[in-house]
Structure 1
Amino acid sequence: MSEKLIIASAAVQGRECLATVLYDGQRAVEFSICAEQENRILGNIYVAKVEKIQKNINGAFVLFQPDRRGYLSLDEFEHAVMKTRKKTGELKPGDELLVQVDKEAIKQKLPRLTTNLTLSGKYLVMSTGRKSLNFSRKLSADERSRLKKLFPPAGEEDFGMIIRTNARETSEEEILREYETLKGQMERICRYGTSRNCFSCLFQAPGDWIIELKQRSFHTLSQIITDHPGVHQEIEEYLRETDRKGRVALKLYQDPLLPLRNLYSLDSLMNELKQQKVWLKSGGFLVIQQTEAFVAIDVNTGKYGGKKTSDETFHLINLEAAGEIALQLRLRQLSGIILIDFINMNNPAFQKELMDYLQELVSRDSVKTQVIDITPLHIVELTRRKEKKSFQEQLQSIMGKENRADDL
Structure 2
Amino acid sequence: MSDEILINVTPTESRVAVVENGLLQELYLERCGDGGYVGNIYMGRIERVLPGMQAAFVNIGLERTAFLHANDIMPRQPELTEAGEPVEIPPITDLIRQGENVLVQVIKDPLGSKGARLTTQLSIPSRYLVLLPGVDNIGVSVRIEAEAERERLRGLVRKLVGEDSKAGFILRTNAEDVDEGSLARDLEYLRRLWKRIDAGMQGAEAGQCVYEDLSLPFRSLRDLMHAGVEKVRIDVAASVREAQTFAGEFFPDWVDRIELYEGEGPLFDLYGVEDEIERALSRTVPLKSGGHLTIDQTEAMTTVDVNTGGYVGFRNLEDTIYKTNLEAAQAIARQLRLRNLGGIIIIDFIDMEEDDHRRQVLRTLQRALERDHARTSVSEISALGLVEMTRKRTTESLEHRLCQPCPACGGLGRVKSVDTVCSEIFREILRAVRQFETGELRVMASPSVVERIMEDQHRTIAELTEQLRTTICFQPEEQYGQEQFDVVLL
Range into which the TM-score falls when normalised by the shorter chain: 0.7 to 0.9
Moved over 4 A (4+): 153-156, 396-399
CA drift at 1:231:
3.6
User: For residue 375 of structure 1, what is the aligned residue in structure 2?
Assistant: 382
Q: Secondary structure at the match of 1:274?
A: coil
Q: Is the partner of 2:323 in helix, strand or coil?
A: helix
Q: 1:22 aligns with which of 18, 23, 40?
A: 18
1:139-172 CA distances to partner (integer Å, 9 max, x unpaired)?
Answer: 1110111111123399963222110121123211
CA distance in 2, matches of 1:48, 1:269: 40
- Aligned residue number for residue 183 of structure 1: 191
Which one is further off, 215-224 or 139-148?
Answer: 215-224
Partners of 2:30 and 2:350 lie apart in 1 by 36
Q: 1:148 aligns with which of 135, 149, 154?
A: 154
1:3: which partner in 2? 3
Shift of 1:17: 2.9
TM-score normalised by the chain length of structure 2:
0.73
Indicate whether 1:74 and 2:82 are aligned: no
Measured in 2, the distance between the counterparts of 1:268 and 1:339 equals 27
Number of matched pairs? 389
**What aligned pairs does 1:151-166 form with structure 2 within 5 A after superposition?**
151-152=157-158, 157-166=165-174
Query: Kindly tell me: are residues 265 and 358 of structure 1, through their superposed partners in 2, closer, same or farther at Cα, counting changes over 3 Å?
Result: closer
Q: Structure 1 residues 275-284 or 35-44, which shifts more?
A: 35-44
Distance 1:184 1:89, change over 3 A: farther
State the Cα deviation string for residues 361-384 of structure 1 (Å, max 9, x = none).
212322222221222211011111
How far did residue 210 of structure 1 move? 2.5
Of the structure 1 ranges 20-29 and 180-189, higher mean CA displacement relative to structure 2 is found in: 180-189
1:108 aligned counterpart, secondary structure? coil
2:245 paired residue among 237, 256, 279 = 237
Provide closer, same or farther for how the CA distance between residues 160 and 27 of structure 1 changes in structure 2, counting only shifts above 3 A: same
1:211 is displaced (CA, Å) by 2.5
Q: Which residue of the partner structure matches residue 84 of structure 1?
A: none
Q: Does structure 2 conserve the Cα–Cα contact (< 8 Å) formed by 1:44 and 1:201?
A: yes
Partners of 2:333 and 2:223 in 1: how far apart?
A: 18
Contact in 2 for aligned 1:50/1:94 (Cα 8 Å):
yes
For residues 259-306 of structure 1, the C-alpha deviation after alignment (integer angstroms, 9 at most, x for no partner) is 223344333122101101000010000001111111100000001132
Q: Which amino acid aligns with 2:171?
A: I
Matched, 1:251 2:294: no
Q: CA deviation at 1:317?
A: 0.6
Q: Residues 362, 273 of structure 1: CA spacing in aligned structure 2 closer, same or farther, 3 A cutoff?
A: same
CA contact (8 A) 2:345 2:388 kept: yes
Alignment of 1:3-402 (within 5 A): 3-9=3-9, 16-65=12-61, 67-79=63-75, 90-128=95-133, 130-139=135-144, 140-152=146-158, 157-229=165-237, 231-246=239-254, 248-254=256-262, 258-396=265-403
Check whether the contact 2:244–2:255 (CA below 8 A) recurs between aligned residues: no
In structure 1, how many angstroms separate the alpha carbons of the residues matched to 2:225 and 2:30?
A: 24
> Alpha carbon RMSD of aligned pairs, Å?
2.7
Task: Label 1:265 to 1:117 Cα distance change in 2 as closer, same or farther (>3 A).
Answer: same
Inter-CA distance 392–111: structure 2 relative to 1 (3 Å threshold): same
2:449 alignment counterpart: none
Name the SS for the 2:8 alignment partner: strand
Distance 1:391 1:144 in 2: 35
Aligned mates of 1:332, 1:345 — CA distance in 2: 27
Aligned with 1:161: secondary structure?
Answer: strand
Q: CA offset at residue 332 of structure 1?
A: 0.8
By how many angstroms is 1:39 displaced? 4.1
Tell me, yes or no, if the aligned pair for 1:71 and 1:110 is still in contact at 8 Å.
yes
AA at the equivalent of 1:41:
Y
Cα distance change on mapping 1:76 and 1:130 into 2, 3 Å:
farther
3-state DSSP class of the match of 1:65? Answer: coil
Judging changes above 3 Å, is the alpha-carbon distance between structure 1 residues 66 and 276 closer, same or farther for their aligned structure 2 residues?
Answer: closer
In the alignment, is the contact (CA less than 8 A) between 1:226 and 1:251 conserved in 2? yes
Q: Note the C-alpha offset of 1:250.
A: 1.7
Per-residue Cα deviation, 1:77-106 (whole angstroms, up to 9, x for no partner): 3459xxxxxxx9752222112111111111
Name the amino acid aligned to 2:50.
Q
* Cα deviation 1:317-337 (Å, max 9, x = unaligned): 110111111111111111121
- Structure-1 separation of matches of 2:329 and 2:35: 36
Give the partner amino acid of 2:110. A
Please state how far the C-alpha of 1:342 moved relative to its aligned partner.
0.6
Bigger Rg, which one: 2
